[in-house]
Amino acid sequence: MNPSWPSINLRVNGEHHSLNLPPMKRLLDVLREDLHLTGTKEGCGEGECGSCSVRMDGELVNSCMVPVLQAQDACVETVEGLACDAELHPLQKAFLEFGGAQCGICTPGMLMAASHLLAHNPTPNIAEIRDGLAGNLCRCTGFIRIFDSVIATIASNAKSQQERNAR
Amino acid sequence: MSTSAKTRIVGSSVPRKEGVDKLMGRARYVDDIERDGMWHGATVRSSIPRGIIRSIEFDPRIDWGEFAVVTAADVPGENHIQLIFADQPCLADGQVNHCEEAIALLAHPNKQKLREAVAAVRIDYEPLPAVFTIEESERQDVIVWGEDNIFKSFLLEKGNVDQAWTGAAHVIEGEYRTGAQEHLYIENNGMIAEYNSAHGVTVWGSLQCPYYVHKSLMAVFGLPEEKVRVIQTETGGAFGGKEDFPSVLGSHAALLAMKAGRPVKMIYDRMEDLAATPKRHPSRIRHRTAVDANGMLLAMDIEVATDGGAYSTLSSTVLSRATLHSPGPYVCPNVRVRSRAWATNTVPYGAFRGFGAPQAIFAIERHMDEIAAGIGMDPIELRRRNFLQDGTTTATEQVMREHVIMDKLLDRALTESNYYARKTQFAQENPASAIKRGIGIAAFFHGSGFTGSGERNLNSLAGVDVTSEGKVRVLVSSTEFGQGTNTILTQIASEAIGLDIGDVVMALPDTGIVPNSGPTVASRTSMVVGKLIQRAGTQLVSMLHDKAGLEESFTRAEFFAACERYRAKLGDVVSLCRYEPPPNIFWDDQKYRGEAYPAYAWSIHVAQVAVDTITYSTEVEDFWAVQEVGRVLNPVLAGGQIEGGVAQGIGYALYEKVVWQNGRMANNQMTNYIMPTAEDVPPIHVLFEEIPFMHGGFGAKGIGELPHDGPAPAILNAIKDATGVSFCSIPLMPEDILAKLVVASSIEVAATV
Ligand code: FES
Ligand code: FES
């Protein structure tokens, strides 16, 4: 407990945390070091690669660029929160089937960017998908199978929507 | 089992073995791992390109007693990294030969204090003259390595080149240059090390070749093999960039761990990784080609020069691959290739996907278009007339015994891309448009596996065993870093044995557990190691038939019951196989002649570009990659390899420029070293032809490096088609296009006036 540090309250993947932290500590490091959520990765530390992408109060942010003070009272979603119990998120299923992940280091950020995109626009076209993922670099896949995975997710979401409607 | 026999698992798109862990964020990369009492390590580096170290001074305002400090004097064994030659010091001793060379190492529990301490170490130098380019090194007035600045040279000769010029209808010359390229794996280099005098050294890290690191650690610490243990952690991209360098970083982390008496983690940040680790060798390749009136190649005189940087690392083998690929996939009766790798005072260049071939293929495939223009022939037709065919010989007199189908690949690429129709359309539309479109091709091969006698010398060992928990484990030091090793090898093992993919797991890539199946490089894993696993699987089944009463056909339960009977009678259930070279493969290192590679993968790339004559930017609008890589073991993974390689090749051609200042990378950030993003890659159409290769794992040849070879020449050929101007150097940036197009158009204006 360092009295000169503020107490930071934040909710991560639905779980509440109250932490005594240096205010300028990067959200990325708080997630990885203090909360042991190492799914979020650091690729550049300067807001260029997107491998540290998380959602914060519904916005997609590079957690390497966010001092934790800015996350006071925020709701943060990371890759660890995507799957529901053991059931993979539809995006995760599609990435697995269509080869959207190779080395996997960009994958957590890419999944967060893709889920953010679909939350705002459930049926993006290819140009919108490219635009939505433009802040996330992948050096392995050439992006093609990541696009395929997102497109497949849109189709499977539409199908489950139809099934729900039919019921 | 024959390679084309029907298979259950091989050939299907089994999902990536470690995929769920990666998608859930559970996969453990080195920076995700903590050890009790662990400190962090950092590196004090040279700020000058070349000079004598007069002294290393530690600022007295820092309490150095809190730190572990390591210099060359602390190295217990040999102060050299063990690659091909041991010329690169683990830590600079008395002299530095490139900027960012490691001089001292520090460790401390607090990262912030560590950064301050690095800045508080002052190195006093006596600068020495340095060389930065191939040309400066060639002049040899400043000698920075050995006696002549030459790491390695090769002479490849077939027929008699000198007699061919006089009778030739045409002689075409060209000079082609390629720049450095950064791997830009998204996970930077990182290692954790532990040391204790009883057990020796253990390192965990992001790496491709556990036994390379193992060998260097043995030498640096003067320890026997059983006292060094190297464990690969999940690796976030490598592309060759984690072939040679982890031997350096692993040694550094281990030296600090020894000095600190506790585990030490060293993770580079992006700026350090970009500035201090190897890149692709820059090259200058000159072609002089004699052609007859029908466009048949009569003679090729080729001169290859690469920039190797300050230490030899892998420059000799990169140069060898560049030399062997420089004549391209063509028949020519007279060939001479003279090649040299030169020393300069930059960070040593190292392995990068393609390993010299992208440089060589860029030159020959650009040059083929120049020849076609020079003799007034369609570049497609010129290539077609000269392709290697069954029974013809390469420049090293290797006879094409495996079926060569370049004609078929070419036809398919032309049809799929609608090449001629597009070409005609662009020629009609371009004059009235500021956007000039064009289409270009590249035809190429890539040798699978180690060059020449390399695989014989490696003498790889790999296999499978059966655990008491009822799993078959694949035992290899071949690592997964995104390319699909885990999936492919478990597919092969389960197919060969007759089990389900779920019954087979990968052993931890730990030198304490797995045998040395060779390095994970050179597109050798599916072909060479895959074959070893296939043989080991078949051998395991016959072992169980002979010794444990397993029937001819069996269920899963019967298989594992037989394993337990075997174990009770004879001990561990293990089946290992050693590499056996295919028959009739012989390579003469002295004469540099013979079977350069056991097999080749073949490919045609077609690129469509749009050059904006207002902004001078180039967009690749569409791309086709047609290839023959032997049997495709997993279509989704194979397609991903091709697409990823093409994207890197597009970056190599148009985006990725290392800016040098005094031998140091000046743009060592992702902000200013630019790779293609999701908005830049074109649709990539990937098409396979399959001719199973008898000596590869279920018929596979190499695939990983091939796709990096073709994009750059195909794109620059397309730019020539679009603009009428030849560009012979990459990366080709808008300012380069501007410079030449403006000159070209002023000539045009002058001509019309
Ligand atoms: S690590 Fe945050 S954007 Fe790269
Ligand atoms: S999968 Fe490796 S960087 Fe995207």
Residues paired with residue B336 on neighbouring β-strands, in sequence order: B157, B301
CB interface of B with A, residues 691-710, below 8 Å: none
Does A11 share its domain with A68? yes
Does A59 share its domain with A35? yes
**Is A95 close to B19, i.e. CB distance below 8 A?**
yes
Question: What is d(CA B605, CA B385) in angstroms, rounded to the nearest whole number?
Answer: 18
Does A57 share its domain with A113? no
Residue-wise pLDDT for A64-90, tens only, equals 999 999 999 999 999 999 998 889 999
Mean of the pLDDT values across residues A15-19? 97
Does A69 share its domain with A135? no
Give nearest CA residue, ligand 2 atom 4.
A138
Residue A31 covered by a domain: yes
Q: Give the model's pLDDT for residue B1.
A: 42
Residue B91: CB partners within 8 Å, gap ≥ 6?
Answer: B70, B71, B72, B75, B79, B102, B103, B104, B105, B252, B255
Last residue in a domain, options A29, A54, A81: A81
Question: What is d(CA B372, CA B369) in angstroms, rounded to the nearest whole number?
Answer: 5
Last residue in a domain, options A55, A81, A107: A81
Mean of the pLDDT values across residues B170-184? 98
Does A131 share its domain with A155? yes
Mean of the pLDDT values across residues B651-679? 98
User: Domain B373-449+592-747 has what CATH class?
Assistant: alpha beta
Does A63 share its domain with A14? yes
Q: How confident is the model at residue B745 (pLDDT cuts 50, 70, 90)?
A: confident
Residue A139 covered by a domain: yes
Is B739 strand, coil or helix?
A: helix
C-beta atoms surrounding B119 within 10 Å? 10
Average pLDDT of the residues of chain A: 96
Write out B326-341 in H/E/C secondary structure: CCCCECCCEEEEEEEE
Q: What is the CATH number of domain B33-128+183-276?
A: 3.30.365.10
Decide if domain B3-28+460-578 falls under CATH 3.30.365.10: yes
Question: What is d(CA B536, CA A114) in angstroms, rounded to the nearest whole number?
Answer: 42
Residues paired with residue B154 on neighbouring β-strands, in sequence order: B339
Last residue in a domain, options A50, A81, A112: A81
Query: What total of structural domains would you count in chain A?
Result: 2
Q: Is B265's Cβ below 8 Å from some Cβ in A? A: no
Q: Give the model's pLDDT for residue B103.
A: 98
Question: Which residue type does B703 have?
Answer: I
- Asked if residue B453 has pLDDT above 60, the reply is yes
Q: Is A103's Cβ below 8 Å from some Cβ in B? A: yes
C-beta atoms surrounding A122 within 10 Å? 12
Q: Give the model's pLDDT for residue B752.
A: 53
Extract the tokens encoding B127.
């600068």
- Looking at all shown ligands, the one closest to residue A63's CA atom is 1
Please work out whether the CB of residue A142 comes within 6 Å of at least one atom of ligand 2.
no
Mean of the pLDDT values across residues B595-603? 96
Predicted TM-score (pTM) of this structure:
0.97
- Looking at all shown ligands, the one closest to residue A95's CA atom is 2
Please work out whether the CB of residue A144 comes within 6 Å of at least one atom of ligand 2.
no
Query: Quick one: which atom of ligand 1 is closest to the CA of A45?
Result: 1
What phi and psi values does residue A89 have, to the nearest 5 degrees? -65, 150
* Cα-to-chain-centroid distance, residue B599: 17
Residue-wise pLDDT for B151-174, tens only, equals 999 999 999 999 999 989 999 999
**Could you list the residue range(s) of the whole structural domain that residue A126 is in?**
90-161
Residue spans of the domains in chain B: they are 3-28+460-578, 33-128+183-276, 373-449+592-747
Query: Quick one: which atom of ligand 2 is closest to the CA of A110?
Result: 4
Is B41 strand, coil or helix?
A: strand
Which of B282, B284, B296 is CA-nearest to residue B330? B296
Please work out whether the CB of residue A49 comes within 6 Å of at least one atom of ligand 1.
yes
Residue A17 covered by a domain: yes
Extract the tokens encoding A39.
């799914």
Q: How confident is the model at residue B2 (pLDDT cuts 50, 70, 90)?
A: very low
Q: Which residues of B touch A108 (CB under 8 A)?
A: 25
Mean of the pLDDT values across residues B452-456? 89
Residue-wise pLDDT for B8-41, tens only, equals 999 999 999 999 999 999 999 999 999 999 999 9
**CA-CA distances (angstroms) from residue B24 to A38, A50, A92?**
11, 17, 8
Residue A166 covered by a domain: no
Residue A14 covered by a domain: yes
CATH number at residue A156: 1.10.150.120
| A33 DSSP assignment | I
Q: Give the model's pLDDT for residue A167.
A: 76
Residue-wise pLDDT for A120-161, tens only, equals 999 999 999 999 999 999 999 999 999 999 999 999 999 998
Contact B339, B153 (CB under 8 A): yes
Please work out whether the CB of residue A119 comes within 6 Å of at least one atom of ligand 1.
no
- Asked if residue B301 has pLDDT above 70, the reply is yes
Which of B433, B437, B533 is CA-nearest to residue B478? B533
DSSP string, B489-533: HHHHHHHHHT--GGGEEEPP-BTTTS-----S-TT-IIIIIHHHH
Question: What is d(CA B660, CA B668) in angstroms, rounded to the nearest whole number?
Answer: 10
Largest Cα separation within chain A, whole Å, is: 58
Q: Which residue has the tokens 């965990």?
A: B204
Does A35 share its domain with A68? yes
Does A20 share its domain with A77? yes
Mean of the pLDDT values across residues B636-663? 98
Does A72 share its domain with A97? no
Say if residue B129 is preceded by a cis peptide, omega within 30 of 0.
no
Residue-wise pLDDT for B473-531, tens only, equals 999 999 999 999 999 999 999 999 999 999 999 999 999 999 999 999 988 999 999 99
Helix or strand holding residue B704 (H, E): none
Does A55 share its domain with A102? no
Contact B548, B566 (CB under 8 A): yes
Residue A2 covered by a domain: no
CATH number at residue A71: 3.10.20.30
Query: Quick one: which atom of ligand 2 is closest to the CA of A101?
Result: 1
Residue-wise pLDDT for B104-142, tens only, equals 999 999 999 999 999 999 999 999 999 999 999 999 999
Question: What is d(CA B623, CA B648) in angstroms, rounded to the nearest whole number?
Answer: 13
Q: Which residue has the tokens 């420029």?
A: B657
Average pLDDT of the residues of chain B: 96
Residue-wise pLDDT for B389-402, tens only, equals 999 999 999 999 99
